[in-house]
Amino acid sequence: MNHNLRSGLYDTSPLYQNAVLDLEMAGRTMDLSPNVLERLKMPKKAMCVSIPVRMDDGSVKTFEGYRVQHSTTLGPGKGGIRFHPEVNLSEVSALAMLMTMKCSLVGLPLGGAKGGIRVDPSQLSRAEQQALTRRFTMEIISMIGPEQDIPAPDVGTDGQHMAWMMDTYSMAKGHAVPGVVTGKPIEIGGSLGRPESTGRGVVYVIEHAIELLKKKNKGNFNLKECTAAVHGYGKVGTVAAEELEMRGCKVVAVSDYFGGIYNKAGLDIADVNAYMAKNRTLKGYPKAEAINNEQLIGLDVDILVPAAIDGVITKDNMKNVKAKIISEGANGPITSEAQQYLEAQGVYIIPDILANAGGVIVSYFEWVQGLQQFFWNEKEVNEKLAEIMARAFNRVAGNADRYNCGMKTAALITSVERLSQAMLLRGLFP
Ligand code: GLU
């Protein structure tokens, strides 16, 4: 009998294929048990749902939604809900795998999961988004819960969506269950510092990278003399730009979906944010020249922060990149091929599962604070975040030296070391 054990259901997207390639590479480098590798290549559980929504004009539209748990070996599933028109089961499965790796890497007692709805939220009214979120929550209710699987915001969702999810789940249970989601507004059990946490973490690891490169005589950077460009001026990118500017770094360019702005002398981030708040776009910002996203990727800067979405730096544009340090604010912004090319060119890449782990770390703090009904101040949150990020960075950098590999592979090795031990200890059921 020679069955093909894969139907191809999960591995249709480049993001999934890249995630598996990266995992295989880490597996080879660390000499991982093939049994563990085999298990990690597929999610534990996936649910696909149809979500009918009565639109404001009275018509009914049906959207596709997914929740995927990649692993619950280390604890409840954890990961965001993405609203994006291109999302599909394969992409959500890849993102769930990245969450497993991220949580394991930074030492959280959480597994990896992700959800998504194939929708462009900017085309929906607030009422339509609420109906969509609530019906989706109801459809996946058997999969989520504070001890089971805990959603959070991701691309296209924010605290308001989490509030609707929490309310829907709580209505079904008959009592308030704040621990079912993280990234909630403060008023209903959110954590101080959660909205800023991902962008902050992205910059903390840049500081560590600069220190390390200096120590190794691989570059004499000083953040105060560096220039930076931020691709994706959203929840993560805006905070990363602010944090970089705060440390004296010159942020010369930022961009969103529609294009970017560039000023050689450095942008005034507060001024850019005020313009954004008023005009809802970077377009027309008077104190900089307009550039497109590809131009931003190719700028001659020291630091590049891709903070928008996956698959932004690929074999098609990797040769244009001039940055010396890249901190991956988004999940999967650099394809495997581009990453290998750039690392061979000496670019220091701080991989997504490390660079953007600040979000899920503070999600974990939110979950813990909620369970204890005892809330911390923002200083405590930031200090604890910085401590965990520093520890994770050092462990990854240590593995990069030990295995003589790039930071991406080292980060995966660091996650898989912990995860595989837990998998082997728990054993296979039955
Ligand atoms: N969506 C974020 C991520 O990709 C946060 C997940 C969470 O806080 O659970 O890491």
154 CA to middle of ligand 1, Å?
6
**7 lies in some domain:** no
Report pLDDT digits (tens) over 313-362.
999 999 999 999 999 999 999 999 999 999 999 999 999 999 999 999 99
Residues 290 and 220 occupy one common structural domain: yes
Mean pLDDT of all residues belonging to the chain: 96
Q: Indicate whether 1 belongs to any domain.
A: no
Structure token digits, residue 384: 């604890």
Give strand pairing partners of 145: 149
Indicate whether residue 359 lines ligand 1 (CB < 6 A). Answer: yes
pLDDT level of residue 263 (50, 70, 90 thresholds): very high
| Angle at which helices 89-105 and 407-426 cross, to 10° | 90
Signed CA dihedral, 365, 22, 340, 262: sign only:
negative
Confidence bin at 2 (pLDDT 50/70/90): low
Quick one: 227 and 151 in the same domain? no
**Could you tell me the residue range of the domain that residue 318 belongs to?**
197-355
SS3 349: strand
- pLDDT computed for residue 252 by the predictor: 98
What is the band of 250 on the pLDDT scale with cuts at 50, 70, 90?
A: very high
Domain boundary among 141, 175, 209: 175
- Same domain for 350 and 205? yes
Q: Whose CA is nearest to atom 9 of ligand 1?
A: 79
Are residues 350 and 202 both part of a single domain?
A: yes
Co-location of 70 and 120 in the same domain: yes
Mutate to test the pocket of ligand 1, among 91, 363, 368, 415 (most ligand atoms within 8 A of CB): 363
Whether residues 107 and 137 share a domain: the answer is: yes
- Check residue 8 and give its pLDDT: 87
Is there a single domain that holds both residue 238 and residue 342? yes
Q: Indicate whether 67 pLDDT > 70.
A: yes
Indicate if 114 belongs to the active site: yes
Asked if the structure places residue 93 within a domain, the reply is yes
Q: Are 208 and 179 in contact (CB under 8 A)?
A: no
Q: Which helix (H) or strand (E) holds 305?
A: strand 303-306
Report which ligand 1 atom has the smallest distance to the Cα of 95.
4
Pocket flag, ligand 1, residue 79 (CB < 6 Å): yes
Question: What's the CA-to-centroid distance between 359 and ligand 1, angstroms?
Answer: 6
Instruction: Using the atom order of ligand 1, give the atom closest to the CA of residue 98.
Output: 4
Q: Please give the pLDDT value at position 319.
A: 98
Q: How far is the CA of 361 from the centre of ligand 1 (A)?
A: 9
Given 41, 78, 102, 114, the catalytic residue: 114
Residues 98-144: pLDDT tens digits? 999 999 999 999 999 999 999 999 999 999 999 999 999 999 999 99
- Whether 65 is in a domain gets the answer yes
Q: Do residue 86 and residue 136 come from a single domain?
A: yes
Query: Is residue 410 a contact partner of residue 30, using CB atoms and an 8 Å limit?
Result: no
Q: Which atom belonging to ligand 1 lies closest to the Cα atom of 331?
A: 4
Domain boundary among 331, 355, 379: 355
- For residue 245, is pLDDT > 70? yes
CA distance 205 to 211: 10
Question: 250 near 227, Cβ under 8 Å?
Answer: yes
Q: Does ligand 1 have an atom closer than 6 angstroms to the CB of 360?
A: yes
In contact, 149 and 77? CB cutoff 8 Å: yes
Q: Which of 175, 209, 244 is the last residue of a domain?
A: 175
* Pair (345, 243) in one structural domain: yes
Q: Position of tokens 């890497």?
A: 105
Q: How far is the CA of 252 from the centre of ligand 1 (A)?
A: 28
Please identify, by atom number, the ligand 1 atom nearest to the C-alpha of residue 363.
8
pLDDT digits (tens, 9 = 90+) for 301-315: 999 999 999 999 999
- For residue 154 and ligand 1, the question of a CB distance below 6 A is answered with yes
Q: Are 85 and 118 in contact (CB under 8 A)?
A: yes
220 and 288 in a single domain? The answer is yes
* Average pLDDT over every residue of 405-422: 97
pLDDT of residue 1: 56
Distances (CA, A) of 169 to 179, 202, 276, 367, 383: 10, 32, 34, 16, 32
Regarding beta strands 303-306 and 325-327, do their DSSP bridges make them parallel or antiparallel, or are they unpaired?
Answer: parallel
CATH classification at residue 231: 3.40.50.720
Residue 197: the pLDDT is 98
How far away, in angstroms, is 126 Cα from ligand 1 center?
23
Number of domains comprising the chain: 2
- The answer to the question of residue 147 being in a domain is yes
Tell whether 339 is covered by a domain: yes
122 within 8 A of 140, measured Cβ to Cβ: no
